[in-house]
Chain A
Amino acid sequence: MASSTPKKASKKADSEEYSPKKSQEKKKVVKKDEKPAGKDIRGFGFQQPASSSSKTANGTGKKPITIDDSDEEEGTVGKKPVPKGTTSKHFLSASSSKKPITIDSSDSDSPVPPPSSKKKAPTPKSKAMPSASNSSKRKVLVDSEEEDEEVDDVKPAKKRQSVGGGLSRSGGKKPSYVDESESDSDSEEEEKPNKGASKAKSKAKKEKSVSPMNVDDESESDEDNFIDDDDDDMPKKGKSKAKPKAAPKKATPAKKPAPAAKAAKKEIDEEQEVKEEVKKPAPNNNWRAAAAARAAGPKNPGSKEIPEAEPDCLAGLTFVFTGEMESLGRDEAVELVKRYSGKVTTAPSGKTSFVVVGENAGAAKLAKIKEKRIPTLSEDQFFEFIRGRKGGQLDEKQLKAKAAEEKKIEQQALEMEKREKEEEKERKRKEKALQGTGIAAKKIAPPSSQLWTTKYAPTNLKEICGNKTVVERLGIWLQDWQKNYKSGFKKPGKDGTGIYRAILISGPPGIGKTTSAHLMAKEAGYNPIELNASDARSKKLVENATNIDNTSLDGFFQGGGIQSTSVADVRVDSRTCLIMDEVDGMSAGDRGGVGALNTLIKKTRIPMILICNDRSSTKMKPLMSTTFNMTFRRPSPAEIRSRIMSILYKEKLKIPANVVDELVKGTNSDIRQVLNMLSTFKLSKDQMDFDEGKELIKINEKNTIMTPFTITDKLTGPYAFSKTSKETLSDRMELYFHDFSFVPLFIQEHYLKTQPALTNTLNGGEQNLKHLELVSKAADSISDGDLIDRMIHGSEQHWSLLPFHAVQSTVKPSSLIYGPGRQTGGGGFGSWGPSFPQWLGQNSKQGKLQRQLTDIQIRMRLRVSGGRTEIREQYMPLLANKVIMPLVKRGSDAVDETIEYMDEYYLGKDDWDALVELGVDTMSESLISKKIPTATKSAFTRQYNKADHPIAFHKGDMFAASKKKIADQGPAPDNEDVFEEDEPVPDEPSDKGEADGDGDGDDEVNDVSKDKLIKAVKPKGAAAKGKAKGKK
């Protein structure tokens, strides 16, 4: 092969028509090489006959694994979903083997002399990055294939692919590209010996080698030692030499034979060693892969062309993404799959068709993939796969299902049409009937002029999208209502609804709560009356208007009893059902409405259905016990799809199913909004593609406020700032602005609780140090943020600094410490994920204790000169010795002494409690209060309450409290103090020495009296004071 290189290179210059030929030549060459080696002959056989190969594969009774091939090469091949299990997996290995080949050809084309390349090859590889080399290979592949496929290569390619797939299936390997990279080191070693094309050797090695990947690599290396080299060269040298494009193009055809050969080889080996391979320890691999990824240097977001393919080409396939891809962010990847009608799930399962594995894929996932034998794809393979698929590749089952669905849609649409016509007829009939009579007929709008939401409102149970069981339950409850009424709501019935007179439906907007309620009421033979937020529903109105249990004259004169009342112009009788819509919308204007409603519920004689959005709001609380709670969930897109599709069919609007799904998802399953969006869209266009759909969603996006929890998660998630993340600085700042007072606090709370992704490349002590450095930087940034915050909220009010604050307090710290969360110990609440910021609680606790300390200080002020901080720092330790520790040490004996000290400093019992609470460490409240026996405590309290105590002053709120007391006492405290009439009332009644306080309270007026009091206090002791009071 090496010798052929120069020739090919020259040919390359020519038109592409050559390529097929070339490829064939190459194939042959390969064959020759390999046959001697004694590899699987079958494989070659398939390859050669261009047309027959694919047939053979199928004919042999193997399942068609076409898909595998397609991903690598032109992909046009087989659309059938990859059969589960071993078969599909193999394709991966096949594909990997192919890649090298591709390169091969290219390198043969390329001017680079093979020998030199050989020499170089080992070095770069060994240094590293298997992944780098792989990726470069892949890129080449991609380019070349795109062009090639279009030309003439298609058929041969297909065959080959199918062959490869067929061959590979038997082997039970697990191919992820991660593995490949890991195994590289092994392969390197082997390469050298292999150069001599000693396949036997390689085989032997393979057998020994545990990992499947190794096998692949080896096979590659056997076949084309120089291939590998050239892979390396291609990216590094070949490209730089400005040859780049030509080489890849030609390369493709050449490749094809090779893969097959490899696959064949592999197959043999694999069959022998499947089990061993499976056992290969995953974690080690993973680590090496990560190391390789690192060395690969910066990844290039957007470096790869996103493939375009036929619509629906991924229909029926389920993908799982794991790890970080090179050019594609996770969201984009998901979107890409959806664009082509594929499905994306988060965890691999038996139903997963492919797993796209990126770097740093989770070990657990990889293990699962291995276990379930799910085929894996690298990013490039994934692109190739998409590019190569043809639209609408479905197996019979799916086709059938699809057909059935289409039929259903059609049928539904027909039904709708029929109904519409009937309605129209009816309407006309009525109009006609009324015409002659001269009665001003209420004009019923013709269906065509109605809103879609009205026009297509469900008219029977079948048409309700989602929440089927709940709705049915509602129906049953309504039907049984009268029965239950008669039995006095004592029998719970089958589902426990029998004891409720009313039902509370809750759920997000636009999912058909009101519609269902009306519908079910009608179906159960009730006449629904709706009261919603547009009706005033205050207590009085609710009581009067819905006075079903009528005792008012008003109702009585209208005819008496239940029948007499009317609500919203509808007469209420026993066949009426009251629907209270938007109950949580009862607000300021509807004062007492909920309470009245609740009493109404308790005695209602007609069924009541209450509807609200937020069941957990405090307003709903009274209703919790009296109503049966029924929660409506957002229907899944699948539940809505057929309904929407039939409406679309009827309206002659062409929108593919996957776009409808996107619309539904984009609106959070708000059926009403989807319909409104579509009816508007219909005005301008008759069909919609994926991008238009996305755009439409974007325009109609409801701006939802995310909670700080989700925001923090988003900002510090494991991949939040990885190179593939597509979010811009302003996107992240946007997150901050969702709640700019809370998000920074959450970040501050959370930034110590991650294992930063930036430390992933290190381990041991270095990792810890790096982690600390990152944390320190983040803390500095947060500290900066606080300075900015001060400028914003301080006296200067520089609100224009808000964006700067966003960066410093939120974005920058999270950019440093983003990564998976760490178990932060303690377990239980908040040990995973962001927790609620402590700062708030601690701050208010500080405020509270600060106030108590101020209280203590001001009481002590008469004796002490120090301020608050001095009291806390210097007095408190000693004071604790005097008034707290004695109780701890000596128990009840010390009570008197303690009280004496407290009186000396005008401290009350509350202040004593505060003193205990203010202690930290060995004096902390929890410790101290444990140490003081309860008996002592109660003795202390008793003793303290027994005597009167000097008080430094009376607090304002005490004054207020005493005032209240007076009011309560009413006329009681009378006479005697007649002479004091002029004085504000408070003075007298409080009698007990609070009188003093009162005096203090309005001191400005009568200075002198206070003065006296204070003097009285000072002399010391309770006795004097008591007397003072007595006098009063």
Chain B
Amino acid sequence: MSLWVDKYRPRSLDELHYHPELSSRLRSLSASGDFPHILFYGPSGAGKKTRIMATLRELYGPGVEKLRIDQRVFVTPSNRKLDVNVVQSNYHIELTPSDVGMYDRVVIQDILKEIAQTQQVDLNAKQRFKVVIINEADALTRDAQAALRRTMEKYMNNMRLILCANSTSKIIAPIRSRCLLVRVAAPTDDEMTKVLQHVAKKERFALPTSATKSILATSQGNLRKALLVFEAMKMQKPDLTGDLEVAKPDWETYCSKIADSILQEQSAQKLLDVRGKIYELLSHCIPPTVVLKTISERIVDKVDDALKPQIIHWAAYYELRMRMGSKKIFHLEAFIAKVMTIYKQFNMIGYTDDYE
């Protein structure tokens, strides 16, 4: 009854459908007995975690798949209690320190050290070291990353780190230099088609090319998304023929509505309305960057060519600020105010000032 994504997730390196060179390298690495710290990076839905689990299985055998989840409580120096969820097997432990925001350093220091300082208990284990997986490593604060540095070297005997990130740009150089960087690229369309066909075969139905096309178009190299969309589509239209309107997720339609209303009217009052809607998106856990990106893409689709580069420029400008600042909505609002202004200017005067 699981969703297809999870049901047909490959479990071992051999089962992986694409990037065969990468798989073979990982296999030889785990066989070598000198497993390094690894930093997996690549876009969401490319298969990083699947690959990590497959690698672990290669390292320790099927035992690593016996996962358990554990909630640990930490007390910050300021006496705040933090709950951190830890996923672990006998041989590895998986953390998402960014769950606790700015306190991630505490988690790294406490848990990581604790694990690093104890040896592998299971004498039958294939490896002498344990593995710590750190998810969303690019969301770690600088402090937390700094806390990692020394640990990585000092406890190399007991532990290996596997970092998982979307991009390496936010990971400090000292850490990058201590890791083997493994890029997991998004699958190509052919590779994705192959996977989709594989799933279709397992589910015992034929996948028409038209359906594949529309799935690929919406998923944009994100295999997870592709499979989820695939399943949703199958649910909607079991025969997968005819006009396949891929149902957009709730937040995406909402973003489009916002973009449309921005183009409909530009005024402070409208901005106030938009603010309310953006608050709604943000509070419902849609990341601000996603909101910004979706809205600006939609706007770019609809405006005059002359405005497109400007909109993109400002989107980039405010996205950076959003990352640097703390109250995201301030920057989102500034972006929308800017877009409204240039759009209105363009409509009234026929041109706009160059950026800045």
Contacts and interface: CB of A to CB of B under 8 A. Distances in A.
B340 A772 contact: yes
A878 B253 CA distance: 15
Residue of A748, A867, A878, A1018 most packed against chain B (CB within 10 A): A878
B44 A868 contact: no
Contact of B326 (A786, A861, A863, A953): A786
B345 A769 contact: yes
Contact of A1003 (B49, B70, B85, B135): B70
Contacts of B68: 953, 1000, 1003, 1010-1011, 1014
Contacts of A52: none
A752 B330 CA distance: 12
A768 to B, nearest CB: 6
Interface stretch (A88-96, A268-276, A531-539, A913-921): A913-921
Given A858-B69, A877-B247, A878-B231, A863 B285 contact: no
B285 A862 contact: no
Contacts of B344: 768-769, 772
Contacts of B3: 875, 878-879, 882
A956 B70 CA distance: 9
Contacts of A773: 341
B147 interface: no
Interface string B47-70: 001100100000000000011111
B334 A779 contact: yes
B249 A790 contact: no
A324 B290 CA distance: 47
Interface in A768-783: 768-769, 771-773, 775-776, 778-780, 782-783
A867 B287 CA distance: 13
Interface string A685-704: 00000000000000000000
Given A872-B286, A877-B232, A921-B253, A854 B269 contact: no
Interface in A839-891: 839, 842-843, 845-846, 849-850, 853-854, 858-859, 861-870, 872-882
Interface string A650-662: 0000000000000
Contacts of B235: 881
A864 B348 contact: no
Given A776-B341, A795-B141, A877-B249, A865 B272 contact: no
B280 interface: yes
Contacts of B348: 765-766, 769
Interface string A882-905: 100000000000000000110011
A793 interface: yes
Residue of B235, B325, B337 most packed against chain A (CB within 10 A): B337
Contacts of B125: none
Contacts of A469: none
B326 A793 contact: yes
Contacts of B331: 783, 786
B191 interface: no
B228 interface: yes
A787 interface: yes
B80 interface: no
B236 to A, nearest CB: 9
Contacts of A864: 5-6
B254 A920 contact: yes
A922 interface: yes
Contacts of A779: 330, 333-334, 337-338
Residue of A775, A858, A921 most packed against chain B (CB within 10 A): A921
B254 A863 contact: no
Nearest to B233: A878
B71 interface: yes
B189 interface: no
Given A775-B337, A878-B231, A849 B283 contact: yes
B18 to A, nearest CB: 16
B283 A845 contact: yes
Interface in B64-92: 66-73, 83, 85, 87, 90
A922 B275 contact: no
A952 B225 contact: no
A751 to B, nearest CB: 9
Contacts of B90: 1011
B337 A768 contact: no
Given A768-B267, A779-B337, A867 B283 contact: no
Interface in B306-356: 318, 321, 324-327, 329-331, 333-334, 337-338, 340-341, 344-345, 348
B243 interface: no
Residue of A775, A838, A849, A880 most packed against chain B (CB within 10 A): A775
Contact of A866 (B224, B247, B327): B224
Given A772-B268, A863-B6, A1015-B66, A873 B337 contact: no
Contacts of B286: 872-873, 920
A904 B330 contact: no
Given A838-B279, A858-B85, A874-B224, A783 B318 contact: yes
Q: Which DSSP category, helix, strand, loop or mixed, fits chain B's interface?
A: helix
A865 B334 contact: no
A877 B324 CA distance: 30
B282 A865 contact: no
A794 interface: yes
Given A854-B85, A873-B249, A921-B257, A953 B337 contact: no
Given A838-B279, A1000-B68, A878 B2 contact: no
B247 A870 contact: no
Contacts of B231: 878
Q: Which DSSP category, helix, strand, loop or mixed, fits chain A's interface?
A: helix
B155 interface: no
Contact of A850 (B121, B275, B285): B285
A71 interface: no
Interface in A989-1013: 1000, 1003, 1007, 1010-1011
A794 B101 CA distance: 12
Residue of B222, B251, B269, B285 most packed against chain A (CB within 10 A): B285
A794 B68 CA distance: 35
A920 B268 contact: no
Contact of B279 (A795, A842, A865, A900): A842
Nearest to B90: A1011
Contacts of A783: 318, 321, 325, 330-331, 333-334
A789 interface: yes
Contacts of B324: 787, 790
Interface in B245-283: 247, 249-251, 253-254, 257, 266-269, 271-272, 275-276, 279-283
B304 interface: no
Nearest to A847: B283
B267 to A, nearest CB: 6
B285 A872 contact: yes
A495 to B, nearest CB: 48
A779 B222 CA distance: 35
A825 interface: yes
Nearest to B50: A865
Given A858-B85, A923-B250, A865 B53 contact: yes
B143 A874 contact: no
A851 B150 CA distance: 31
Given A873-B286, A904-B1, A918-B284, A956 B329 contact: no
Contact of B268 (A775, A786, A859): A775
Contacts of A862: 67, 69, 87
B228 A752 contact: no
A798 to B, nearest CB: 14
Contacts of A825: 269
21 contacts: A752-B268, A769-B345, A771-B267, A783-B333, A783-B334, A786-B321, A794-B326, A863-B6, A864-B5, A865-B224, A872-B285, A873-B286, A877-B232, A879-B3, A904-B2, A919-B250, A952-B69, A953-B71, A956-B72, A1003-B70, A1011-B90
> Top 9 nearest A-B pairs by Cβ distance?
A779-B334, A865-B49, A877-B249, A953-B69, A921-B254, A786-B325, A776-B337, A923-B250, A858-B85
